[in-house]
Structure 1
Amino acid sequence: MRFRNSLYAIIAVALAASTACGDSKDTTTPTIDISKLDSGNYPTTPRDMESTRTTDSGANLESVRIGNSVPLPFEIDGKFAFQRLASVDGRTTLKSPATMTSIASKEFPDLAQGLVAGWESSGERRKNPWVGSSVIIDTLRFSDATKAETAARRLANRQAEVDPGETVTIPGHPSARAKWSPVKRTLDSFLAHDSMLLYVYITDPVSEPVDTAPLIAFTQAAFTKSIEALKNYSPTPIEQLGSLPLDTDGLLGRTLPLEDRQMSISGIDRTRLMTARSALPSETFPALSKAAFDDAGVDLVAYSGEKVFRTRDVSSTVRLIAALIDQRSDGYRSIDAPPNLPDAKCFDTKDKKTSELSYPPVCYLAYDRYVAKVQGTNVQEAYQKAAAQYKLLAYGR
């Protein structure tokens, strides 16, 4: 930890020295000659996101609103500080089903009839999979309380049919349907609350013998904290979902779009605009990212082909970049900045024999109060994406 904090400080000082200019109160965007940036064939003109609206957009946007309200695994138990999946999209709809043990995705729409929108987050106790407990939390909104209760019953019954187990009582939540599977070593719990359905999955793959008491305690806390947090969630009337805004201040439209090869196997477009809070489940180290976001005043995060953060002010970009670099420093080595973009901070895989997929070439750059993280399959691609992303942020300004 001492090394990590020292590295953070060194990076922050170096970034500040390389970007500071003007008065001592703030930093300003350095002068970059846009015409000299090699952006390859990547787009450099902002998109009108409204033209991408579909019949599914309203549910996806409402999912983000739910995600902005509910607790994350590490907030329920600080031991769940990791999130190992590379590109998590917490939005849950009938077309993008929740992850539930022993329930096939194709079965979910029929079992969860009346689903409006939902949110999913996950966490692990250890950085590497299957060496410690992991959790998944789903918060699903239905059209009414009856639909939520029906879905809870049908999902729990189907799960028990496929994977029989022992009935468990969750203290403080007597109406919850909970089942411990000795074979899969998982505790799955469903709780209907008004028009919401809460699902908590927790597993312990390593303890011998398994003590279910900590798993039950986590589930109890997850239900209690989720119900309390949902008091701050105001459901958008179903007939108004289609009018929820797709973009805020044009940030998503200024983010590099997804390429065909970046699309998910299901074909679902993962492009989305998040608040800082709803962006945390997509971060590898959500607890560290929360501290970094709070420090830099991040309010919006755009996800598409690449990632863009909006901070409180120009000077905050320095600290955010330092924090983002620090989180992944173990697997990277520093490389030169892209041509004519001297203040970008770029890194390549430290050991190509073992970590190239986990640590692809990446660049961090700042424009005004925005920070962008771009990566490529090789260094040249990362450089061109960095140039294109800079042009998008600077376009018309």
Structure 2
Amino acid sequence: MKRFGTRSSAGRTIVGTLAIALAAASLSGCGGPASGNPTAREVDVRQFAVGNYPTDPLDVRSTFHHEATTGKAIALARLADSVVVGPDVDPQFNHNALALSMDSLATAKATQVLAGAVQPALESNGMMFGFSAAASTRAMPKSRQRERPGNFNPFDGAQSDTEASVFNVTVLQFPDPQRAQTAAEQMEAADFAVAADQNVRITLDKQPTAKAHWRPGVPSMAATMAYGQYAVNVYVAQPKPDLDGLRGLAEKVFAAQLPLLDKAPALSPHEIFRLDYDPDGMLRRTLHPKAYYRPHPVSEATHTPRGHLHYADDQATWKQLMDDNGVDRVSTASYGGLLFRARDTEAAAKLWAGIKGTTSDSVEAPANIPDVACSAVPTEETGVLRYAYDPAEGATVYLCSLHYDRYVARVASPQLVDAQQKAAAQYALLANSQFM
């Protein structure tokens, strides 16, 4: 089944965005005619150098069709919005360490963050999908070599700073509460059995239904509990093997996570199938070079600010920027743009100024377009925009930021001219979206 059918452009009027406003004129006492010269209220976006990039909203160019696979991707994005980020637990956890989506077609992916021994529990209880996130008090080491010994791999096998405190939260949805409960018990039992002669069972006073264990002398512990149709696993580690400290951190993570799930009730297969792919009209305003939309929990999705923070390295800086300017939605489009919706036009201007302050090394912006700034940055600093081009580690990427009305957008490319064309097209798209 095709996800999109391209609409015919026959009979559709292209909306120009050159708005002409008459200058205010004084009137004579007898009510004479107004006088004055017309002035441009907006630039004429039809004159922008946009290359081959589209400037019409995607829903004008194509029609979305619901499918089970696309619904699952939207459901994963929704779940990411309801999994804690570092600052939700404590401001000191301001470094993102992992964001991983997983679905029922690849339960093995869960073992990239959980113990390999838990996979049978996920399969036998019908795991539907899940999301895992981790945060650290210190930046992750640049080297991201993977090592998966079979026990917990909270950072997808990457090694963290031994002087850091870290946590990982994995939330998995199951078909019903009974299977979620069984899965949680079996997950804990399977992980405990990996080193049964060394592990010790422990309890959490503030989450008495959680099953937990640690290995004396090792500065980490894990706990798992069922919460409705969800199974929630929490892994914590600190520089020293202090059981009280580890227990307290795990309880703090659970306390931040569980209320978020109260606001995101589990979905039935029918509800997953019918999820709205663009309920706030964000994706239609986001630069999307392709002629169709295929949902992806990271590269083609709409998120809350929390969901977006999973893909930002410096979570404290980006959380502050979004909080201060009332950002409520963030969208991304594969090989396209990243779009923020701020409280109002004034807040968007402040957000744009703040985002510009996160980069240096300014380069030439596209000509004759207001409120656009570009800079050269290492590809590692582009975050979710890595999905907007083919990244090469260590390469220079050109990043352009712009604002229009209450929206702030970012685009990226390894080629400056391409980044400028993307920025021009994104600006024109935001203008055109006001009328289409």
3-state SS of the aligned residue for 1:225? Answer: helix
What is residue 276 of structure 1 aligned with on the other side?
305
Q: Give the 3-state SS of the residue equivalent to 1:315 in structure 2.
A: helix
Partner residue in 2 for 1:340: 368
Aligned equivalent of 1:221: 252
Aligned pairs, number: 353
2:135 alignment counterpart: 123
Judging changes above 3 Å, is the alpha-carbon distance between structure 1 residues 341 and 220 closer, same or farther for their aligned structure 2 residues?
same
User: Residue 124 of structure 1 contacts residue 134 of structure 1 at CA under 8 Å; is this kept in 2?
Assistant: yes
Alignment of 1:236-275 (within 5 A): 236-257=267-288, 270-275=299-304
Larger-gyration structure (1/2): 2
**Cα deviation 1:198-233 (Å, max 9, x = unaligned):** 1112234xx3x5334322211112223323443333
Counterpart of 1:138 (choices 170, 173, 182) is 170
Q: Does the 8 A contact of 1:363 with 1:373 survive in 2?
A: yes
Name the CA distance, whole Å, in 2 between partners of 1:376 and 1:109. Answer: 43
> How far apart, CA to CA, are the structure 1 residues paired with 2:214 and 2:303?
34
Q: What does residue 115 of structure 2 align with?
A: 102
| 1:80 and 2:112 matched | no
Q: Distance in 2 between matches of 1:31 and 1:379?
A: 25
Question: Shift of residue 197 of structure 1?
Answer: 0.9
Q: Tell me if structure 2 keeps the 8 A contact 1:361–1:382.
A: yes
Counterparts of residues 1-397 of structure 1 (less than 5 Å): 31-48=42-59, 51=64, 53-84=66-97, 88=99, 91-95=101-105, 97-98=109-110, 99-103=112-116, 107=119, 110-111=122-123, 113-129=125-141, 130-131=160-161, 132-162=164-194, 165-172=198-205, 173-180=207-214, 186-204=220-238, 207=239, 209-257=240-288, 270-305=299-334, 306-326=337-357, 328-329=358-359, 332-349=360-377, 357=394, 360-395=397-432, 397=435
How far residue 365 of structure 1 moved from its aligned partner, in angstroms, is 0.5
The alpha carbon displacement at 1:280 in A equals 2.4
Q: Residue 249 of structure 1: CA displacement?
A: 4.1
Deviation at 1:342, TM superposition (A): 4.0
CA RMSD of aligned residues (A): 3.5
Judged with a 3 Å threshold, the aligned counterparts in structure 2 of structure 1 residues 248 and 231 are, in CA distance, closer, same or farther, namely closer
Match of 2:154 in 1: none
Using the alignment, how far apart are the partners of 1:141 and 1:276 within structure 2? 22
Percent identity for Structure 1 against Structure 2: 27
Q: Would the aligned equivalents of 1:300 and 1:310 in 2 still touch at CA under 8 Å?
A: yes
Confirm or deny: 8 A CA contact 1:337 1:344 kept in the other structure: yes
Distance apart, 1:166 and its partner CA: 1.6
TM-score, normalised to structure 1's length? 0.76
Instruction: Give 1:302 deviation, angstroms.
Output: 0.5
Partner deviation per Cα, 1:227-281 (whole Å, 9 max, x = no partner): 344333333444322222110243213323378xxx9xxx987311112332222
CA distance in 2 between counterparts of 1:350 and 1:375 reads 11
More helix by share: 1
**What letter corresponds to residue 362 of structure 2 in structure 1?**
S
> Is contact 2:117-2:190 (8 Å) kept?
no
In 2 relative to 1, CA 360–186 (structure 1 residues): closer, same or farther, beyond 3 Å? farther
Distance 1:30 1:92 in 2: 48
> Does the residue aligned with 2:96 lie in a helix, a strand or coil?
coil
For structure 2, the residue ranges without an aligned partner over 5 or more in a row are: 1-22, 24-39, 142-159, 381-391
Instruction: Provide the TM-score with structure 2 as the length reference.
Output: 0.70
Instruction: Name the CA distance, whole Å, in 2 between partners of 1:251 and 1:351.
Output: 25
Using the TM superposition, give the Cα deviation of residue 68 of structure 1 relative to its aligned residue in structure 2, in angstroms.
3.8
Higher mean C-alpha deviation, range 359-368 or range 250-259: 250-259
> Cα–Cα, structure 1 residues 78 and 195, in superposed 2: closer, same or farther, change >3 Å?
same
The answer to whether the Cα contact below 8 Å between 1:301 and 1:310 also exists between their aligned partners in 2 is yes
CA distance in 2, matches of 1:30, 1:356: 43
Q: Is the 8 Å Cα contact of residues 94 and 109 (structure 1) preserved in structure 2?
A: no
- Once residues 410 and 218 of structure 2 are traced to their aligned partners in structure 1, the CA distance between those partners, rounded to angstroms, is 38
What amino acid is aligned across from residue 371 of structure 2 in structure 1?
Answer: D
